[in-house]
Amino acid sequence: MKTIEIFISGKVQRVGFRACVRRIATDLHVSGTVINLPDGRVHIIATAEAIILEKFISMIYSCPRALIRDLRTSEISCMSFSDFSIIKGEG
């Protein structure tokens, strides 16, 4: 298992993006969180097998109405979550 942190910028707030990310994560059995940031970006923390995380990232681009301009990932210390949840945040 591995945990990654993802920062996404573009038209990713107020377009149903967090719900789409959660749906993809649930389908792939990825656990973690997604939250809107005050600066207009979306922050995701995701835990799963490495190959599943690669698929998760590629599927994020298919979210309708969202326009991803930049997606940056980095591996962080492994974290454990019971499921994948949307955190109510800014934006």
Catalytic residues: 18, 36
Whole-number Å distance between alpha carbons of 91 and 79: 25
Whole-number Å distance between alpha carbons of 49 and 81: 14
Residue-level length of the chain: 91
Q: Are 18 and 42 in contact (CB under 8 A)?
A: yes
Whole-number Å distance between alpha carbons of 81 and 87: 13
Instruction: Enter the tokens of residue 15.
Output: 């377009």
